[in-house]
Amino acid sequence: MPSYTCFKAYDIRGRLGEELNATIAQRIGRAFAEVLGARRVVLGRDCRASSQELAQAVAEGLMAAGVEVLDLGLCGTEEMYFATSALAADGGIEVTASHNPMDYNGMKMVRAGSAPLDEASGLAAIRALAESGAFAPERVGGRLRAAEAVRDAFVARVLSFVDLAALRPLKIVVNAGNGAAGPTFDAIAQALAAKGAPLEFVRIQHEVDGRFPNGIPNPLLPENQPVTARAVHEAGADMGVAWDGDFDRCFFFDAEGRFVAGEYVVGLLAEVFLAKEPGAAIVHDPRVVWNTQSLVVRAGGRAIAARTGHAFLKQALRDSGAVYGGEMSAHHYFRDFMCCDSGMIPWLLVTELMGRTGLSLAKLLETRRAAFPSSGEINFRVADVAATVAQIEAVFAPRAVRRDDLDGLSLEFADWRFNLRASNTEPLLRLNVEARARQDLVDRGVAEISALIQGA
């Protein structure tokens, strides 16, 4: 029996060929339908060269199980989330490798109601059935049809988050990275213009091109950030926005072209929602927390920490009723968007905040960056993750005033803290360090912990 190593903690991701191919994709589609008892499934894909073939294979597997496949074609992952609920489907699948290298692809999956799918809620069973091939006999009635008019409804839902009357004239650089974001952004921009929104857009790397002539769209990588920063400068723009390949993450640049770290965006969006819904709960990941917690408490809200990863954040929103949840990796989740993440809603909310306050993005962030400096996520490849974490724990835990094991190892000291955790999706150890108003403590913490990791 084959072992499908493309199955990860809460999605599917693998190297094309042996780890993921049309045969495996077809078996995954069929297993998805049988495990979930699905009769209608939404299917979308990103623009990678391999995505169309894999999506067709998934559709064949679904149809063999008697499923009506509602085909979205080229779209973002969040459009699949939206359509799964809007069309009352029994589940949804997006064929995407997001920001992974060119020779990868994968799938993101949800259950009915766009609920997260992880190992406990069906992913492990899907893997076991796909590997064994012990499928039920083929069922009649399977068919593939285009899902009509979903994008217009999606655009309307996205715009419902924003008070258009609060917008003021802004020039915004948008960088789709030649990924799937371009057509969907254009639909949103067209709807904004029709409503008289005073926003001007400068598009770069906008054409959909699965060969990614400008590199894999992952704006979190420092080497990918200068192109957006330069475009902001050249255009004299007020802000820059860039997306990853399936645009479920968006990244910000201020008018000076400075990249905005994700934890500060979480704080901004928490402020936006607490102004609209005083006392609401806000979910955040446990890697960098002090800025968000400070803003939530100041605004009278309730801060809730959840494990890193979309399945965990989504479930935390569903369990708590929180209005918003954010991760420093630029995933932002919204209660009124099926508790799912969106890369289109955040930049609209930031433009609303800039309009309502009359402040630039840099000004909105200025005091927060100074009050809570952080390192950004630093990745290490190590031979033995558990042993390395144990070594760091032995050195630092005796000095800590607070410890948290929710997600990896978090140790808090008088004026600084760190989180050290294994990646859920890659063979990496990830370090984040933050402090209260002292960059020198961030620098010292990074240096000391890095030296121990590299010497392990």
Mind telling me the catalytic residues?
A: 98
Question: What is the Cα–Cα distance from 402 to 389, expressed in whole angstroms?
Answer: 17
The sign of the torsion formed by the CA atoms of 166, 171, 175, 178 equals: positive
Mention every residue, 6+ apart, whose C-beta is less than 8 A from residue 36.
Answer: 90, 91, 111, 112, 122
Task: Decide if 334 contacts 161 (C-beta within 8 A).
Answer: yes
Q: Is the distance from CB of 136 to CB of 339 less than 8 angstroms?
A: no
Q: What pairing do the DSSP bridges indicate for beta strands 378-380 and 429-435?
A: antiparallel
CA angle 174, 176, 177 (to 5 degrees): 125
CB 270 within 8 A of CB 292: yes
**CA 159, CA 165: separation in Å to the nearest integer?**
12
Write down the number of H helices and E strands in the chain.
Answer: 14, 21
CB 356 within 8 A of CB 166: yes
What is the dihedral sign for C-alpha 261, 355, 78, 196?
negative
Three-state SS at 247: coil
DSSP class of residue 67? P
Could you tell me whether strands 68-74 and 402-404 are parallel, antiparallel, or unpaired per DSSP bridges? Answer: unpaired
Beta-carbon contacts of residue 173 (< 8 Å; ≥ 6 apart): 201, 202, 204, 228, 231, 232, 235, 237, 239, 240, 241, 253
